[in-house]
Structure 1
Amino acid sequence: MAVEILESSLVLPGEETPKNGLWVSNLDLVAARGYTPTIYVYRSHGGPGAFSPEVLKAALAKALVPFYPLAGRLGFDRTGRVEISCTGEGARLITARSDSYTVDDFKDFAPTAEMRQKFVPAVDSADPPCIMLMLQATSLKCGGVVLGFAIHHLAFDGRGAALFIQTFSAIARGDSAAIATLPLPFLDRTILRARSPPSVLFDHRDCSSKVFQSGSPSPCVTANLKLSKDHLSILKRCCGAARVSTFRAIVAHIWRCTCIARGLASDEETQLFLPVDVRSRVKPPLPLNYMGNAGFRTKAVAKVGELVSNTLGFGAERVQTAIERVNDDYVKSFVDYLESVDLESLSKRGGMPNTSLCAISWLGMPMYDADFGWGEPEVMSRAQMYGSGFVYIMGGTKKDGEISVVIGLETDSMQRFKKIFYEEPSVVVA
């Protein structure tokens, strides 16, 4: 099922923008070096709002004015430290078409390398001097559209990406009221600069140790599993806590199910890595429109036997304990600690052992607030997973109210995982 490239061009900011080096924090540099590939799938609506490459290009040019670092390139400052060089060279926009795919082919979409290759632009390297933003707009046989974004991880995290796409889409559909309510990006990352002198108050070797093994990620298959409101009620009830969060309940269930599906021995130790947004956890809080990586990776640990034999609340409590330790003192101590470690090494991504899981939450982010004039996307997802053991938890459309769990697992574990995932948590035993 082929996708034909029609045009590839660089889109420059619509106005003159600052030309400077944008300092990036230790939390940016310790983030995985690469592009975040996402897709948005739209059904045809025809009429005045029908897909127009010219409208999309003009809107991108306007959006690149406040988000001008996306028109730059990754570079180095005078000391050799990585920075974003705000050169104004532009973002890459590719237009394409497919006479084979329709919107219905993306129903229950699960990320794969093949789908990323067809619908999301790629480059050979994510190291300097590389581009910061690439976008492919593919018109489908049915009249629908797929937008595939590749945004460099040093540009910003998921919350920053959501604000950019909200702004970009509001410009494209000509919604001046929405544009007026959206905040401008907060670009100054020096508020996360390490203290002088550094003050390391905690032992951070555990948090900064490499999650990823050397070498390529292990082969995996992916699945996009839906949780209805009824499913969520069951999970929360089985956690036994009056006010357990949706995220804690889901992650505890996934953690437990993966251990069983992988056939891990009861005396093995299993690790659950949890990136936590620190915007509201530091003092003073970071602006909600902070453009940068504001994620801190914490870890929950348990013996497989304990996790499987106890109630779901056992895992949920381990998750809560891991998240609660991420406070102002801990984050600032970690940023200071990173002054003394090899950040380049920590940013490299390989595979994870099958005793580990990494769960990323996109809950609460306006991921479907991306109407470019064609209505709300029917599908929004990562286009490709990093490898086995990665999980993304995200809200569905406003219409369905479902939660999507997008997961990559070893081929021989996935079938059992999917079966266990939908059983009552009370009967999920090894």
Structure 2
Amino acid sequence: MMGALKKSLSKLLIPYYPLAGEIVTSPTGEPVLHCNNNGVEFVEAYGEIELLKLDLYHPDASVAGKLVPKTATSVLCLQVTELKCGAMVLSGTLDHRVSDGHSANMFLVAWAEMTTSGTISMTPSFRRSLLSPRWPGSPGKSLNDLYMVVPPTLPETPRLHEYVGRIYYMKAEAMASLQALASSHGTKRTKVEAFSGCLWKALAESADKGEPCKVGVVVDGRTRLIDGVRSKDEMARYYGNVLSLPYGELDSSKLTSNPLSWAADQVHDFLMPAATKDHLLGLVDWVEDHRPHSVMATLLFKGNMKGPSVTISSGRFFQANKLDFGWGRSTLGSCYFPWGLDSGYVMPMPSPSGNGDWIVYMHLFKHQLDTVEAELGDILHPLNLALLKLLEH
């Protein structure tokens, strides 16, 4: 099994050659991906524990420093861990400056295909001209509220609490009920809008009265950029970052006193303007206007951290059900992303079973997680092997 993974990986790095490179600094001070065939770090590990005893609900104890590799220089670092019972855990650390979640999913699916058949169904595109800035550029003033130039030194803000990671299981029927509640005004809200509104309200319960509470939702721009220049196929194959991070900020008292449908409406209102072709083309222009300075989403800025803040990422289309390396479909796909920023992070992903259930990773302050569990304990269940139907075997 280990030999098959390494052999297919070496073949896969031909079409995915940038992942074998490294990040260097250009003469202007910008990070640049240098495609020098530096290679990918590959760690073989063995865990003296059975899968049935692995505490997936508390990834800080079971995953950190054990099942996920650390890398100092490589764009991509992979680790394959065999457990005492024969189960296998495949994990990777990928530089987010090079790859977003869509791209990471594309690579993993291709790796599984290469392992089983020796070919891949989708060749990645590194055609950067697909995201070239316009001339003249037209970034739009609203982007100045969503993005900012990174200061030379970020402010040191004392952290009153420590972040904690937990993984939950959310059943499809619970999601359907949540969506119905969020759509009570007759306007159907999406699952993301319903979930984001629900989490926004739960976070507000953990805040002081009147404290601002912020939630951002990651938007994948690939489907929004399709036009005469960019075909659907090209954008689906595009490897890189095609993301925007709009967010909303509301008084915690308003969030707690209004129904879920109202909160979902607020999510919809800040999300829709960013889910457009004009917004994403403007973002490309905005970034170009500020080069060579590094930029970041305003939501993530440390100096803007009064009150709870969380980013909800876009892992709902992760194709975990396609990750079959030749010895059966994967049982669980999730992430572990304690990113070090003073903002919470939530990644919902589909269960590999394909039944509409979600796996939800949360990286929040402990008191926030405790509040989320108290408020949403009927729909968010601590992840365990019984929920994954593994105890039957």
TM-score range, shorter chain: 0.7 to 0.9
In structure 2, relative to structure 1, the CA distance for the partners of 1:382 and 1:244 (3 Å cut) is same
Deviations 1:192-249 (A, max 9, x none): 1222332233232210048997448751222222221221122112111453211111
Partners of 1:374 and 1:343 in 2: CA distance: 47
What is the aligned residue count?
Answer: 362
In structure 2, relative to structure 1, the CA distance for the partners of 1:202 and 1:403 (3 Å cut) is same
The Cα shift of 1:374 comes to 2.4
Match of 2:23 in 1: 74
Match of 1:103 in 2: 51
Residue identity in the other structure for 1:66: P
> For structure 2, which runs of at least 5 residues remain unmatched after alignment?
381-393
Q: How does 1:387-406 map to 2 (within 5 A)?
A: 389-398=344-353, 400-406=355-361
- Kept in 2, the 8 Å contact 1:354–1:389? The answer is no
Partners of 1:353 and 1:123 in 2: CA distance: 32
Q: How does 1:357-376 map to 2 (within 5 A)?
A: 357-376=310-329
Structure number with greater CO (CA < 8 Å, separation at least 6) is: 1
Q: Which residue, 65, 80, 90 being the options, matches 2:39?
A: 90
Partners of 1:199 and 1:401 in 2: CA distance: 40
SS at match of 2:63: helix
Deviations 1:106-134 (A, max 9, x none): 4644432762311222134xxxxx31111
Q: How does 1:259-274 map to 2 (within 5 A)?
A: 259-260=204-205, 262-265=206-209, 267-274=210-217
In structure 2, relative to structure 1, the CA distance for the partners of 1:375 and 1:423 (3 Å cut) is closer
- Kept in 1, the 8 Å contact 2:147–2:295? The answer is no
Residue identity in the other structure for 2:65: Q
Partners of 2:23 and 2:211 in 1: CA distance: 41
In structure 2, relative to structure 1, the CA distance for the partners of 1:198 and 1:210 (3 Å cut) is closer
TM-score (norm 1): 0.77
- Kept in 2, the 8 Å contact 1:156–1:291? The answer is yes
- Kept in 2, the 8 Å contact 1:111–1:385? The answer is no
TM-score (norm 2): 0.84
Q: Which residue, 88, 110, 117 being the options, matches 1:175?
A: 117
Match of 1:135 in 2: 78
Quick one: percent identity of the two aligned structures? 23
- Kept in 2, the 8 Å contact 1:111–1:384? The answer is no
Deviations 1:343-372 (A, max 9, x none): 425389776544212111211221342111
- Kept in 1, the 8 Å contact 2:45–2:82? The answer is yes
SS at match of 1:150: strand
The Cα shift of 1:274 comes to 1.5
Partners of 1:278 and 1:384 in 2: CA distance: 22
Match of 1:324 in 2: 272
SS at match of 2:368: helix
Match of 1:199 in 2: 138
In structure 2, relative to structure 1, the CA distance for the partners of 1:211 and 1:222 (3 Å cut) is farther
Q: Which is worse superposed, 372-381 or 343-352?
A: 343-352
Pair 1:189-2:128 in alignment: yes
Partners of 1:169 and 1:360 in 2: CA distance: 24
Match of 2:93 in 1: 150
Deviations 1:234-292 (A, max 9, x none): 211211145321111111111111111x1331x33221112111112225256111101
SS at match of 2:126: coil
The Cα shift of 1:54 comes to 1.5
> For structure 1, which runs of at least 5 residues remain unmatched after alignment?
1-51, 125-129, 426-430
- Kept in 1, the 8 Å contact 2:245–2:297? The answer is no
Match of 1:280 in 2: 223
Q: Cα RMSD between the aligned structures?
A: 2.7
Match of 1:377 in 2: 330
Q: How does 1:323-362 map to 2 (within 5 A)?
A: 323-326=271-274, 327-341=276-290, 343-344=293-294, 346=296, 352-362=305-315
